[in-house]
Amino acid sequence: MNATSTHDTKRSEDVRARINVLSEIAPRWERQVLRWSKRHGIGDRNTELLVYETLIGMWPLDDAELPSVRDRLKQYLEKAAREAKTHTSWIAPNPEYEEGLLSFADALLSDPKFCADLTRFQKPVAFYGFLNALAQVVLKATAPGAPDFYQGSELWDFSLVDPDNRRTVDFALRRKLLSKLPTLSLQGTAPDLTRSISKLSLPDGSEAFETTREGSVHDGVRLGADAGAELKALAGPDFFAAVGI
């Protein structure tokens, strides 16, 4: 099974795809983090970096989702800090440290200058994160094995660890988008997977959905001349899946 997000993923595949971009612009990212730390720092560089990375990865496409960022981030940070067991833990919680950490997150998100600076830096990172994520979907859907799509990941999903990744999934929207996609007649040839990568995501994530569909739901797609296998589709009214055989 080829899985990129699960019920226990600490950061969704799309969040990680954005954060991975930072490794390719390390000098610029270092300068930015140092500027933020100088202005907002709490004296714990590892924790600060965790907060900044998480915000880069989880920042929503739709401004209507911005009000939820604060509570989602604070919930994630509390769990991450306790599981790191450096300053606090589930067995021996440190209320003073946790209050300081959550106050730090609150202060950042209450600072308009920080949010504007974050958004400015995050936008080009998100652009290349889209490319990373789409490429990953294509590889997952076409590589030997059974591609697994965790609930909600058919569209752009910037979830963090549970319970954030257990939020209600809008399946009605997914059915609506699926019904609008054209029906392809493959006639024994592989679909043109590059077509969906030629354009980036709309806020509703329809391009990501198209890549998923084109890469995985058509019956009898040859995986390659040397693969010796075929991709078979399993479809129902509310689901689709593909298995390499």
- Mean pLDDT, 10 residues at a time, over the chain (245 residues)? 89 95 96 94 90 96 93 96 95 96 96 96 94 91 89 89 90 84 51 38 49 44 42 49 47
Token pair belonging to 18:
């954005």
Token pair belonging to 211:
């890549």
Phi and psi angles of residue 241, each rounded to the nearest 5 degrees, phi first: -150, 165
Quick count: other Cβ atoms within 10 Å of Cβ 52? 20
Phi and psi angles of residue 221, each rounded to the nearest 5 degrees, phi first: -80, 125
What pLDDT does 183 receive? 59
Class of domain 2-123: mainly alpha
Rounding to the nearest 10 degrees, give the CA dihedral for residues 104, 109, 115, 121.
Answer: 60
What pLDDT does 199 receive? 34
